[in-house]
Amino acid sequence: MESLIPIINKLQDVFNTIGAESIQLPQIVVVGTQSSGKSSVLESIVGRDFLPRGAGIVTRRPLVLQLQFVDKDDKSIRDVSEGTMNLDEWAKFLHTKNKVYADFEDVRREIEAETERITGNNKGISPEPINLKIYSYRVVNLTLVDLPGITKIPVGDQPLDIEQQTREMILSYISNPNSIILAVTPANTDFATSEALKIAREVDKDGRRTLSVVTKLDLMDAGTDAIDVLCGRIIPVKLGIIGCVCRSQQDIINKKSIEDALKDEVIFLQRKYPSLANRNGTTYLAKTLNRVGIFYIFLKILLNYLFFYL
């Protein structure tokens, strides 16, 4: 079943190239406010620093991120002509054709350049996606869509209707009944007022295709914890609630590696939430997304089959 995900990824590339927007494929859509920790979650899942960083709205175009697991010893997927035979990890953009990116700093720069090519440098946004495929031994097979963070007030050169633009873009993706909504909420805010869950409920009232990620567990006020939230006692979420501890901005400035951050996350969860540690964390999140993604792909194929033959 897991082999279906690379096939879906290839179909998605074809549809994006020919502009067949009416064909709705299963995908995981990441939704959250600015500074909610979306980028840190994605980089932890990938195991690499590759996303633009900065103040304000950084993600200004949808990033369709296709992850493909490649075993270090598997030469079948590598290509001599592309120079990937001796690489453990590499990336490709749809818009740069067969160009291979072995340095993930170059991936970050290309995302920034391609973003500014369409949106300019005035912090505006565009619904035109950037398609990035990452091959790595660190990842599980997944397709994720990272969207601009939910914002309320335009800052600097942002358009006055930036909130409405962002909202419409998010709704255009999560309204797809085949999408899985990954709603990201920081633990140091009131979970009951989560903007990500609020917009998810507009299109998924029963929460059947919403999975919540609670970030920044380590930044909660002293004397408080997230046990009630993680156990679903505040707001139940059908696909589950998973807590994560990602790198802070200071960690990134100090060049703390993702490997060290993942180790510290495990230690923190075992110390602070020993009874819940095995059902939380970035590694568990990636495996859950992979499992849920496969289920939705299988369900979509089954429903299409029944519709065609019955």
Domains of the chain by start residue, with CATH: 4-16+27-309 (3.40.50.300)
pLDDT over 70 (residue 13): no
Structure-token match 């873009």, residue found? 169
With bands split at pLDDT 50, 70 and 90, how would you rate the model's confidence at 157?
confident
Q: Which pLDDT does position 27 carry in this prediction?
A: 83
With bands split at pLDDT 50, 70 and 90, how would you rate the model's confidence at 91?
very high
Q: Which pLDDT does position 42 carry in this prediction?
A: 93
Q: Which pLDDT does position 22 carry in this prediction?
A: 41
With bands split at pLDDT 50, 70 and 90, how would you rate the model's confidence at 41?
very high
Q: Which pLDDT does position 299 carry in this prediction?
A: 59
pLDDT over 50 (residue 23): no
Q: Which amino acid is at 83?
A: G
φ, ψ (nearest 5 deg) of residue 180: -105, 125
Q: Which pLDDT does position 233 carry in this prediction?
A: 93
With bands split at pLDDT 50, 70 and 90, how would you rate the model's confidence at 1?
very low
- pLDDT single digits (tens) 267-284: 999 999 999 999 999 999
Per DSSP, the chain holds a count of helices (H) and strands (E) of 9, 8
> If you average pLDDT over residues 37-53, what whole number do you get?
91
With bands split at pLDDT 50, 70 and 90, how would you rate the model's confidence at 300?
low
Q: Which pLDDT does position 177 carry in this prediction?
A: 86
- pLDDT single digits (tens) 229-280: 999 999 989 899 999 998 887 888 888 999 999 999 999 999 999 999 999 9
> If you average pLDDT over residues 154-163, what whole number do you get?
80
> If you average pLDDT over residues 132-140, what whole number do you get?
92
CB of 234 closer than 8 Å to CB of 19: no
Q: In terms of C-beta density within 10 A (0-12 exposed, 13-18 middle, 19 or more buried), how is residue 87 classed? A: middle
Q: How far is CA 233 from CA 101, 139, 228, in A?
A: 44, 31, 5
Using only C-alpha atoms, the chain has a radius of gyration, in whole angstroms, of 19
Question: What is the pLDDT of the chain when averaged over all its residues?
Answer: 86
Q: Which is more confident, 102 or 296?
A: 102
Percent of the chain with pLDDT over 90: 56
Q: Which pLDDT does position 152 carry in this prediction?
A: 81
- pLDDT single digits (tens) 183-220: 999 999 999 999 999 999 999 998 889 999 999 999 99
